[in-house]
Structure 1
Amino acid sequence: MASLDLSSFSYHKFVEFAFQEAKLRADLIPFPSHLPYKFRSKDNNIMLHTLSFHAPPKIRLIRSLTVEGNSGMQVLDFAVFPEPEFDLPIFCANFFATANLSIVVLDLNPLYDVTIDTAYKHKYYRELLPLGQKYFELLPWGGNITSESLRFFSPIVIWSRFSSSQFKYGVLYSAFMEYFKAWLVLMEQAVKETSAFQICRNCDAQHKYLTWRAEKDPGHPILKKLVGENLAKELLRDFLFHGVGSLGTKTFLDYFPEYNCADGTVNRKRSVMGKSYETRPWDTNGEFIGNGPG
């Protein structure tokens, strides 16, 4: 099997497109507490590059982290978080590539669990189902995903993993462009919430999402290996999932008590429910059908 030549592509093209497209629809302002940052990994073989902006009144944070170098790995972590006055989904693109394996997560992450909240699902995803169908076969379901993670995904999520010999850079770039344009349309159409209760509810939902990601995101071990535990924690809480320390005061165990160990610490397991989904758990109409093994 031929290995992927990582010098033949770069995720910077994705980042450039996204920020240029966002600038057409919003006034991007450098995020107050973030500076564009380039730094090398501990062994100097990998470069990490960050960018972040906000765009009042709708975008609380739009940010990217790219990782590239001569160690056979490239990473893109790109996200857009709405202001709490809007219940917009969170745009999420997590791409990981090595010479032998590529892992892709691309979604408009819902603020509310769409397996339960059908009104929210219809509001944001009903019109986007054809877009998802366009890419589901090109970027097929990547295998087991836990019930815990699934609650933060939508019916149009692209979760895929494939060998380097199957890598399709053009397909992935096209999917990224179309999903991001779709999010920007939703953003333009979004109406500001005036109910204090609903704004508080949106804020809590986003904080819950950030708290989960800051604690359980599968990319954390990679960051720790590259830059050390202290800088990794700083990147997670202050950059990648900014707001986990300011949008709310609840802890991880407040939101997810099922992870509480007898000594009061957080269970390090990715899943405590023990249920996972081997194939796409939504039908073509976006209805949740399940199919987990347990």
Structure 2
Amino acid sequence: MLQRKLFFFSSMESSSSLSFLSQQMPPPVTSRTIIFSSISSCWKQKRPSIQISAVSYRKFIHFALDETKRHTHLAPSPLQERFNSIISMDGEVELQMTSFEAPKIRLLRSLSIETETMQVLDFGVFPKPEYDVPIFCANFFTSGNTNIILLDLNPLHDVINQREYKEKYYKSLMPLGVKYAELLPWGGKLTSESLKFFSPIVLWTKFASSEYKHDVLFSAFMDYYKAWLHLMEGAVEETDPSGIKCNREAQHRYLTWRAEKDPGHRVLQKLIGETQTKDLLRNFLFHGIVQLGSKNFLDYFPEYRCEDGTINERRTIIGKSFESRPWDTRGEFIGSFF
């Protein structure tokens, strides 16, 4: 029986490089801490409370690829040669990967894990820098009776203070977000440091396994992905070098955050070791860190600098946590960071 673990995400939050654990003095409670605690408790179960082998996220990947091909020409990414499948150090778990590119898509990639006791999906699509379209992000984790879900069109630019970008991409999508926010309620505390990478239509939820809930999730995934493809299809190429530079840096900042702070780092590390984990994070899941910019994590996020110049590995929280959705039905931010 599998005693290993991996998580999804991204982001969840869109945010920390699959990192977890710390049984000593617990660090400040963060959304990543909450996510990890939930997942960790699932892994400690001797047996899942229900049989989850019937749960599969493969159909999500198949749908996304088929739907994408209806809108654009998909070609295998050069990354596919290196990142296709990885077997865990104990030989018990297989990490399966796929990656593609298209005229407006820099990278479409997926990471999935399916065992009798755990299902994981990390699916993301990144636009080319010539387009300011949001980043599609789906991070799903299922184990036992527990499901931890993050689904969003992650904004490339600030949607809390930059009304123009929010109006451009999210105003028309608010009815969709409201619909699924009611069916998949807010999953609990989410920190302000993570919130800056999410949109007003983000679905952050946790639920007990049921056929109905998984059907709702699949429906949400399909509708969100169709909406994203529609945005991408209508996106106009940026020709101003300053605009392209702005998009490139925004995406690079996002990738830098995710690779360093995504909440599954330590889980991946236990599965495939530190060297392969860093390679997978930087060169596959968040590919573009080297190609899109030269700034490092502390250049973007100096608040994480320790006195010795290293990065604070604790999932510290800047600002408050949000126990309920901090956007109203019009997409207006109603929370406060302080």
TM-score (norm 1): 0.95
Task: Give the aligned partner of residue 122 of structure 1.
Answer: 167
Q: Which moved more, 1:161-170 or 1:245-254?
A: 161-170
Q: Secondary structure at the match of 1:141?
A: coil
Contact 1:95 1:102 in 2 (8 A): yes
Which stretch shifts more, 31-40 or 213-222? 31-40
Cα displacement (A) at 1:34 = 2.7
Further displaced range: 268-277 or 154-163: 268-277
The offset of 1:228, in angstroms, is 1.2
In the alignment, which residue of structure 2 is the partner of 1:9?
A: 55
Q: CA deviation at 1:271?
A: 2.8
Q: Does 1:197 align with 2:242?
A: yes
| Deviating more after overlay: 151-160 vs 137-146 | 137-146
What secondary structure, in the 3-state scheme, does the structure 2 residue paired with 1:121 have? helix
Residue identity in the other structure for 1:3: S
Residue of structure 2 equivalent to 1:142: 187
Tell me the alpha carbon deviations over residues 188-242 of structure 1, each in whole angstroms, 9 at most, x when there is no partner: 1000001100100000000000000000001222211211111111110010000
Q: How many angstroms apart in 2 are the aligned matches of 1:175 and 1:196? A: 36
- The answer to whether residue 178 in structure 2 is matched with residue 155 in structure 1 is no
| Structure 2 counterpart SS, 1:50 | strand
SS at match of 2:99: strand
2:320 maps to which of 266, 275, 278: 275
Query: In 2 relative to 1, CA 37–202 (structure 1 residues): closer, same or farther, beyond 3 Å?
Result: same
User: For 2:170 and 2:128, how far apart are their aligned partners in 1?
Assistant: 20
Q: 2:18 — aligned with what? A: none
Letter paired with 2:85: K
Out of 33-42 and 257-266, give the one that drifted further.
33-42
Alignment of 1:30-69 (within 5 A): 30-35=76-81, 37-56=84-103, 58-69=104-115
* 8 Å contact from structure 1 (residues 110, 152) kept in 2: yes
- Percent identity over the alignment is 59
1:104 and 2:116 matched: no
Deviates more, 1:243-252 or 1:24-33: 24-33
Q: Which digits, 9 at most, give the CA deviation of each residue in 1:51-91, with x for residues without a partner?
A: 000002x1000000001123x21100000000000000000
Is 1:287 matched with 2:309?
A: no
Instruction: Tell whether the 8 Å contact from 1:4 to 1:165 is kept in structure 2 after alignment.
Output: no
Q: Does 1:25 align with 2:71?
A: yes
Q: Would you say the 8 A contact 1:113–1:151 is kept in 2?
A: yes
Q: How does 1:157-176 map onto structure 2 within 5 Å?
A: 157-164=202-209, 168-176=213-221
| Range 283-292 or range 261-270, more displaced | 283-292
Greater strand share, 1 or 2? 1
Select which of 277, 292, 298 maps to 1:232: 277
Per the alignment, do residues 179 and 51 of structure 1 end up closer, same or farther by CA in structure 2, a change over 3 Å counting?
same
Q: Secondary structure at the match of 2:86?
A: strand
CA RMSD of aligned residues (A): 1.5
Give the structure, 1 or 2, with the largest relative contact order (CA under 8 Å, sep 6 or more): 2
Output one character per residue of 1:89-121: Cα deviation in whole Å (capped at 9) or x when no partner.
Answer: 000000011103210000000001211111000
Query: Contact conserved, 2:124 with 2:136, CA < 8 A, in 1?
Result: yes
- Residues 243-274 of structure 1: CA deviation (Å, up to 9, x unaligned): 01110000000000010000001111223414
Q: Work out the CA distance in 2 between the residues paired with 1:278 and 1:171.
A: 22
Count of residues in Structure 1 that have an aligned counterpart in Structure 2: 290
CA distance in 1: counterparts of 2:54 and 2:336, whole angstroms? 38
Other structure's SS at 1:203 match: helix
Q: Pick from 308, 311, 315 the counterpart of residue 263 of structure 1.
A: 308
Q: Residue type matched to 2:200 in 1?
A: P
